[in-house]
Structure 1
């Protein structure tokens, strides 16, 4: 699957740089054309000549070393690449990329490339867990960069823990799988709803819920990475918009309903993760309600049930709902699956703080109308999103 692919390997200054030699060899054997960029510190661990001999291409180490006077090297290389993989990706390099620093050949080329970028971190376990590194990786993931998770084991520093560069064989396998995956949903249009809604009481107050939108945004990113054209209808969040996704910002349940209804006939797949308010104030007051010594009573009315509308009006769309529950997960989820005429539903126990609203992790159960059940164990919401997209694709394939 990598035959003919143009791959740039960026090697930074960590002891795991020696594994990049085997990665270069295996990618070359798979039929890819490989070019290597090394940082100055990387050359302290491995020589450029080693990579040149294996890749049969010049190795780039200096921004000002123009090997071909007819082009600007870092721009030419950035445009040439189909895939860019940083192995090892040190904490320093991750920090540079996350903050737009371009002070050497590798970071300058990275900033210029439009290719798919993979980062394979390798560092001490405590460095990997440092808040700055964690935040930088989150930022890059939100921008569409892809990570090859490090393994657990004995590290060069003597510690045992997470931070060991993934094995070259596994990295090649992941690249092959991902290359196949990125065209899986080409031609499909996917509608995803995310976040909370706000139902106004007066000009300064509203009713809402704890949904952060993280799961929906991760699903939008994953669907896009699978080749789909993605429409994301989002309630108010503080999240960065996923790249290459068309985002529609709404506030209230009625605004979300109107937007979803407008887009519905165009799409093939709907994944409704938004936590839409079930009730809203029957009357919205024009001016701020002033406090007094009397109790405040607010009469509420039902909002439009968006998921019920979609199930009632669907033609060929594949509809996936979400059930965020605090008890009787399967009982309530199965009832919702049937009553809303869904094809599948994702069950999420939000009573657990580590996988509830606003957490970075999740753990779900994927139920289908045909009675299939798949437990997806706790992982980052992006990893859960990838699994959900895979499960949806399997179900569509059975149709």
Structure 2
């Protein structure tokens, strides 16, 4: 029997809704509230902390997959019920050019089709030697400088930044500036003016870059997209700028944070490191398990219902915002027994939803997996004595950001 609850946008809704996002008490586990909701009320309402607006939270694996695969929900952040996690003034929202991540078919389908060849398993395998070279060079520099070192600035951030810059044709010399803008755009707690300034500054930079490539194309993703677009005509100039922003920010923020957290897990669980050094064939499965464990972008799957939909026996009314929490789904014990344990042999690990699900599943998943495999594998072999330089409970975790991680990871050897 379907239970029809009062819409979260309805005046007179319960005043004491839980607030989202919810803080992680332990970096290796989901917020305690997720497990409580999954057991007690797997499709429930909450208030988005930054905006004060209500939305539905979906916490069970099967229900999250259903929402993310349902054509009756939209990713369009301009729709009235969309559960924004930033203060975006209406005048700025009206000017926003939708990223591919926020598009629905057919626009999303057309742009994604143009980009898929850049991220196939074969294409990424061809990139692997260069990724290995970048990782080796960064580790060489870290060892030459001596410990202690901050792994975030020495390795975690430079590796994916260099890779995505070379893929897109963005000058790495400008990395400090665009990394600053990118970090600002991930921060829930920025004021509307600060958030808008970061977006506009990055777009102005990329506008100049795209304009230059329109005149003199190179051997890079943006140039190849522009060349295809002359025939396909699926995007205008500003669409290409917005696509470049999505690729640049998404291509380094997520992987950089995942590198740091994965290394933290290996250092805090030395038995895992020993097992991986003894049997490197376990590394691909270990990466899936680490992706499942951390689910670093679990608040990134925001949607809005286009019509009434039933999820987990509950009717979500048309126009209501929905947050399909892949972080909660990835700790659903009905799919992942004993989910709080990092198990390198977990057969179900690849069923995780850390890269999302459905038409918006992360297009760069193959690239991220290879980067993680090269970084973890190389670190394990080249610096077997790597250890934290400070206790883990002294680390600053990114509880204020769209992508979870650590601000610094001091290590020594």
TM-score higher than 0.5: no
TM-score of the superposed pair, with normalisation by structure 2: 0.21
Higher helix share: 2
TM-score of the superposed pair, with normalisation by structure 1: 0.21
Higher strand share: 1
Larger Cα-atom Rg: 1
